[in-house]
Amino acid sequence: MAPKPPHKAVLGKQKNPSYIDGHRKRLRSRFLVGGAEPLPDYELLELLLFRSLSNGDVKPIANEMIQKFGDFNRVLSAPIERLTEVSGIGPKTAFDLKLIEAATHRMSQGKVLKRPVISSWNALLDYCRVTMSHRETELFRILFLDRKNVLIADEVQGKGTVDHVPVYPREVIKRALDLNATALILVHNHPSGDPTPSTADIDMTEDIVRACDAVGILVHDHLIIGKSKEVSFKSEGYL
């Protein structure tokens, strides 16, 4: 079977036909006038690809990426090696997309880090959604709080598969003591999109709570992030 030819966007430095330049200009103008909200995912992705792929028609590439990954957020969340599976997306373009993802995460984190969690709870949930709801594999992070419930650190403690991530209570406690944290919020995602806690989730949470109780550290909550909603162990009565 012959290899799939690259999209026109990567065929070289040839000058764009007038209709492609016109399309790019119109799309940029629509964004400047109306912002991102009216644009479908593939058009917003086109605007990003314009920066890396200055030649050729990037619309087929954008459509292929949305079709492959599902939506704009999942495109940005995809690993570099998966992004470069798309014809026309090389390491440089994939890097640019991951840099944009990192910038959005940093902006969301800035709204919650070094701030009291109770007064910025909605911002905290937004941050967790941005960073975790569109991942293809499970990620377990811990939010470390001081005596005033100020978020002093946000760290990934484990990366797993599509339905499992290993977490060890001893390592959780060690890190909390290193940071002089007095309370924790546990957070992990369900790539399936359904945030319903599994038996393993409940057992793991109970193990961490018991270990924390032994050293005087409070577990405020465990959040499971799905694609469009989240579950709070505290609200559901698991804590």
Specify the pairing of strand 183-189 against strand 230-232.
unpaired
Do both 40 and 82 map to the same domain?
yes
Do both 29 and 93 map to the same domain?
yes
Q: pLDDT tens digits for the chain (239 residues)?
A: 455 555 544 444 567 778 888 899 999 999 999 888 899 999 999 999 998 898 889 999 999 999 999 889 889 988 899 999 999 999 999 999 999 988 888 887 777 777 777 777 888 888 888 888 888 888 899 999 999 999 999 888 877 655 556 788 899 999 999 999 999 999 999 988 899 999 999 999 999 999 999 999 999 999 999 988 899 999 999 88
**CA-closest candidate to residue 239, choices 185, 180, 192:** 185
Do both 210 and 136 map to the same domain?
yes
Do both 130 and 219 map to the same domain?
yes
Do both 78 and 133 map to the same domain?
no
Whether 237 is covered by a domain: the verdict is no
Do both 150 and 225 map to the same domain?
yes
Do both 129 and 226 map to the same domain?
yes
* Amino acid at residue number 160: G
Measured in whole angstroms, the distance separating CA 107 from the mean position of its chain's CA atoms is: 12
Q: Looking up tokens 């399309």, which residue turns up?
A: 23
Burial zone of 29 (CB within 10 Å; 0-12 exposed, 13-18 middle, 19+ buried): exposed
- What's the CATH number where 25 sits? 1.10.150.20
- Residues 6 or more apart whose CB falls under 8 angstroms from that of 48 comprise 96, 97, 100
Do both 38 and 128 map to the same domain?
no
Number of domains in the chain: 2
Question: Which of 105, 135, 162 is the endpoint of a domain?
Answer: 105
Does the pTM surpass 0.85? The reply is: no
Helix, coil or strand: residue 144: strand
Domain that holds residue 162: 115-232
Whether 4 is covered by a domain: the verdict is no
Whether 11 is covered by a domain: the verdict is no
Do both 98 and 128 map to the same domain?
no
The pLDDT of residue 113 is 73
CA-to-CA separations, 134 to 18, 146, 189, in angstroms, rounded: 37, 29, 9
Helix orientation angle between 59-69 and 41-52, rounded to the nearest 10 degrees = 120
Do both 97 and 172 map to the same domain?
no
CA-to-CA separations, 189 to 105, 160, 219, 222, 229, in angstroms, rounded: 15, 10, 18, 11, 11
Rounded CA-CA distance 113/90 in Å is 34
- What's the CATH number where 191 sits? 3.40.140.10
Whether 6 is covered by a domain: the verdict is no
Rounded CA-CA distance 137/164 in Å is 8
